Structure 1
Amino acid sequence: MLAVPGELPKDRAGYGLEVKWDGIRALLHLDGGLRLTGRHGADYTRRYPEISVREAKTAAGLGVKSVVIDGELVAFDPRGRPSFTRLQRRMNLTDPGPAVLRLRPITFLPFDLLYLDGTPLLDLPYRDRRGLLDELDAGAPPYFPGESDLLAATREQGLEGVVAKRLDSPYRPGERSPWWVKVKHLRTTEVVVGGWKPGKGRRAGGIGSLLMGVFTGEGLRYVGHVGTGFTDAALGELYALLAPLEIRHSPFGDPVPWRNRWVRPDLVGEVAYTMWTDDLRLRHPVWRGLRPDKIPAEVTL
C-alpha cells in the first residue's frame, strides 16, 4: 500500500503519525525460513543478509509460525540519521561481503503487520494491525497521535517528514490510497533517465548532466536536466550503466534542446527540487541517486 503526497489532514484526531524514513520498502516473510522481498517481488534476502540474521533471532522469540511484516530498509549515518546516500551504496550489491556489512549496515524498520500465523490482517483497521505488531515486539518504531507535533520534531532533527495514516484504514496492496498521506520537508520526485548531455571541462568525455522525463498519456515527457548532486564516482558508475542502453533517437515525445546522447528509458532516479514551473520543468533539481526499487512506468505526473 502506498501513500499520496500532501499536507497533514485537518481531522488529525482520526490519524496516526509515523516518521517517514528515507529508505526503500520491503516485506519480511517468515514461514519456516526468512525471506525479504521488494515492492515488486524482487528477492532482497541475499542483498541484506544482516536483516535475515537479526530478524530471524527476533522472530524465534515471537512464538509465531508465520508472519508477513511491511517496513522500510534504512541506512543510518554515524549521527544516527537515515542516509539515502549510504543506502544507495548497497542497493546494487547482490552478495555483499563482511567488510561491506560492517561498514554500511542496513536496518529493517517494521511499520505494518499483514499476515499472522496464516491469517490475513489486511481488512483490520490500521490501529489494530499496529497493536498486533507492537505485541510481537519486532522492533517497530512507535507511531504517534495525529495531534502531536511530530512533523515539527522531524524537521528539527533533519528527517524526511511524516506519514499520516487513518486509524480505521484497511491495507490495500498495490494501491496509492488517500488513507495514507506522506508529508515531506524536502520536495523530491522520481524521474526517468532518457539521456545525457556530454560533459565539458573536468567532465569532458563523460556525463555533463542527465536528461529527465516522466510518463504521460503521450509517452515520456521531458522535464529538465540535472547536473548537480553527483560525485565523480557516481558519474562514472552512471556512465557504465547508461552506455549499454544508448539508442539513436530521442525517447522523449517532445523536442529536447541541445545535442545529446539518448538512452532506453530503463533507469529511474530521484531528485530534490524547489518547484515545478508552468511549462512542467523541475526547477533547481539536485540528483539524489538511482532508485532500482522503482520501475519507469510508475514515474508519472
Structure 2
Amino acid sequence: MRPMLASKGTHVPTGDEWVHEVKWDGVRALTDVRDRRVRMYSRNGNDITIAWPELSTSPLADRDVLVDGEIIALNEHGLPDFRVLQDRMHVRNATTARRLMSTVPATYMVFDLLRLDGEDLSGLSLDERRRRLEGLGLGSIEGGSAWQVPAVYDDGAMLFDATLQQGLEGIVSKRRRSTYTFDSRTPHWQKFAHRLSASFVVGGWRPQEGSSAGHLAALLVGEPTADGLMYRGRVGSGIGGKASRLLTGLLAGLARTDSPFDDEVPRVDALGTHWVDPVVVIDVDSHATARNQRLRQPSYRGVRSDLTAADL
C-alpha cells in the first residue's frame, strides 16, 4: 500500500477549484486501523509501525479508518525538520523506539481520509473526504494531540509567502474534486518547495572520496554572526570539474591547521576536511530554513568575488 504523490508545480494555482496546505518536512505515512490494530506504512510500502509507538494507538478507538499524513518532529526553533527524525525513522527495535520517543516526540499530521468504517472513500472528491475527516474530531495543532488535522487555505499565494517567511518547507495545492489513486503521482496535487539563494563563507573543503589526487568535491560553509562564524553545513552538489579547479585555485594559500568556525563542526563533516581561512564567499541555493539552521539540500551556485566575509 503506497500513497498518492504530488507533482512538482511551476506556479501556485488560483481559483475556487483549489485548496492549499502546508508542505510538512517529515515522513509520509499511510495508517491503517482495523479492530483497534494500527499499522503505519511508509511511502515505499514498508511497515514502520514499530518506529512510532506514540502514534500507533488510534485516537478514534474502534473506528475502522485508513488515513494519509506526515509524521513530523520539531527542531529547536519549533519548526518541522526532517533532520530531527533521522535517529527515529530507521529504528526497528521497540525498546529503542520507546526511548527515542521521549527525546524526539513525533506528531502525525493527518490530511486525508481514505476509508471510514469499512467504506472506501478514495473515489470521493477531496472536499468530501476532507469534510468527513474534519468530522472525526481529531486533535488540532493547538490541542497538542499526537494525531492532528492541519488547516487548509483558499489563498495559495498567501500561504506560499507565509510559509517562506516562517521557514517552512513549502505548500501543496490540491484540486477540490480530485479523487485518490494509490501508488500514483497526480497532477491534481502540486507541490511547491521553497529554495533560497544566500551567501556563505568557506571555512574548509573536502576531497572526493577515493581520489588519490585529492580533487575538491565539497565545501564547509559558515555564516558570520555576532557570535562569530557559525557552521551552516557541507555543500557538494553543483561542484563539477570546472568549479572544483576554480575553487582549488582560490583556496590555495589559505590553509590552516584548525577550524575557523566558532561553533563545533559535526565529526562526520570535520573528518578529512582541509581547513582554510574564512575569506572566500560563495552563493548557495538551498531549501529555505529559519535563521541559525543548517542548510537543507544545498547546491553550489558560484563564487561571489564582489563580497567579502565582512560584507555578510
Q: For this structure pair, what is the TM-score category when the shorter chain's length is used for normalisation?
A: 0.5 to 0.7
Shift in Å, 1:209? 5.4
Q: What amino acid is aligned across from residue 104 of structure 1 in structure 2? A: V
Cα RMSD for the two superposed structures: 3.3
Q: 1:5 aligns with which of 4, 8, 20?
A: 8
Q: What amino acid is aligned across from residue 123 of structure 1 in structure 2? A: G
Which residue number corresponds to residue 121 of structure 2?
121
Which residue number corresponds to residue 20 of structure 2?
17
The answer to whether the 8 A contact 2:88-2:97 is kept is: no
Cα gap change, 1:234/1:137 in structure 2, threshold over 3 Å: closer, same or farther? farther
Shift in Å, 1:97? 4.4
SS in 2 for 1:156: helix
- Structure 2 gap segments, 5+ residues each: 139-147, 197-206, 220-236, 245-264, 271-294, 303-312
Shift in Å, 1:151? 1.1
Which residue number corresponds to residue 295 of structure 1?
none
Query: Does 2:29 align with 1:26?
Result: yes
Which residue number corresponds to residue 243 of structure 1?
none
Q: Equivalents in 1 of 2:23, 2:51: separation in Å?
A: 23
Query: Does 2:82 align with 1:84?
Result: yes
The answer to whether the 8 A contact 1:273-1:283 is kept is: no
Which residue number corresponds to residue 44 of structure 2?
40
SS in 1 for 2:127: helix
1:93-127 Cα shifts (integer Å, max 9, x gaps): 22224432111111111000111111111111111
Which residue number corresponds to residue 280 of structure 2?
none
Which residue number corresponds to residue 69 of structure 1?
67
Q: Equivalents in 2 of 1:234, 1:80: separation in Å?
A: 25
The answer to whether the 8 A contact 1:112-1:129 is kept is: yes
Counterparts of residues 1-301 of structure 1 (less than 5 Å) = 1-32=4-35, 33-53=37-57, 56=58, 58-60=59-61, 64=63, 66-95=64-93, 96-138=96-138, 139-146=148-155, 149-186=158-195, 197-198=208-209, 232-234=266-268, 272-273=297-298, 283=301
Q: Equivalents in 2 of 1:168, 1:140: separation in Å?
A: 20
Q: Equivalents in 2 of 1:16, 1:45: separation in Å?
A: 30
The answer to whether the 8 A contact 1:16-1:166 is kept is: yes
Q: Equivalents in 2 of 1:47, 1:208: separation in Å?
A: 35
More moved, 147-156 vs 131-140: 147-156
Normalising by structure 1, report the TM-score.
0.62
SS in 2 for 1:49: coil
Q: Equivalents in 1 of 2:268, 2:135: separation in Å?
A: 43
The answer to whether the 8 A contact 2:91-2:97 is kept is: no
Shift in Å, 1:168? 0.7
Shift in Å, 1:232? 3.9
Q: How many residues align?
A: 213
Cα gap change, 1:134/1:234 in structure 2, threshold over 3 Å: closer, same or farther? farther
The answer to whether the 8 A contact 1:13-1:146 is kept is: no
Shift in Å, 1:146? 3.8
Which residue number corresponds to residue 259 of structure 2?
none
Identity of aligned residues (%): 34
Cα gap change, 1:158/1:70 in structure 2, threshold over 3 Å: closer, same or farther? same
Shift in Å, 1:173? 1.2
- Which structure would you say has the larger Rg? 2
SS in 2 for 1:46: helix
The answer to whether the 8 A contact 1:14-1:146 is kept is: no
Q: What amino acid is aligned across from residue 79 of structure 1 in structure 2? A: H
Which residue number corresponds to residue 193 of structure 1?
none
Which residue number corresponds to residue 267 of structure 1?
none
The answer to whether the 8 A contact 1:198-1:209 is kept is: no
- Structure 1 gap segments, 5+ residues each: 188-195, 211-222, 237-269, 275-281, 285-301
Which residue number corresponds to residue 254 of structure 2?
none
Q: Equivalents in 1 of 2:112, 2:26: separation in Å?
A: 16
Q: Equivalents in 2 of 1:81, 1:153: separation in Å?
A: 14
Shift in Å, 1:149? 1.1
Cα gap change, 1:30/1:123 in structure 2, threshold over 3 Å: closer, same or farther? same
Cα gap change, 1:147/1:105 in structure 2, threshold over 3 Å: closer, same or farther? closer
The answer to whether the 8 A contact 1:146-1:164 is kept is: no
